[in-house]
Structure 1
């Protein structure tokens, strides 16, 4: 089953601090984050290939973790 968004239960559990839920949420967004972090890389011969910028990816993951911690669910 291809989900387009994480479940409310997963988000709620992650906001409550459940480590497993936080990890599942990070895994859910992993492909999207990696795609956003693609950058051209030139080798010593001038050849170009596309690679994931791991520093940028770490910053985005850190920002997502911060948003999870600060997120408030209103009833």
Structure 2
């Protein structure tokens, strides 16, 4: 069954402010999705195929997500 949990506004705003624990919680929330996106076929010396997580690609995606979190700008409502 899929987990449709979304990060709360508080968690997102804490992560945008640079809270390491909040960033780790967001990364943990999206870890299964990132892992699934990084699946690659691996051939052993006998020609057998195994599907494995490409850890280099996963690291790049996690790095990009952290950069996007830290660069995210939360618009503030203004009264007019």
TM-score bracket, normalised by the shorter chain, equals over 0.9
Equivalent-residue separation in structure 1 for 2:53 and 2:41 (angstroms): 9
Equivalent-residue separation in structure 2 for 1:11 and 1:62 (angstroms): 17
Gaps of 5+ in 1: none
TM-score (norm 1): 0.93
* Equivalent residues, number: 74
Residue of structure 1 in register with 2:69 after alignment: 68
TM-score (norm 2): 0.88
Equivalent-residue separation in structure 2 for 1:48 and 1:38 (angstroms): 12
Q: What is the CA-CA distance between 1:3 and the residue it aligns to?
A: 4.0
Please list the CA deviations of residues 29-65 of structure 1 after superposition, one character each: whole Å capped at 9, or x if unmatched.
1101000000000000000010000000000000001
Residue of structure 2 in register with 1:24 after alignment: 25
Superposition map of 1:7-46 within 5 A: 7-46=8-47
List structure 1 runs of 4+ shifted beyond 6 angstroms: none
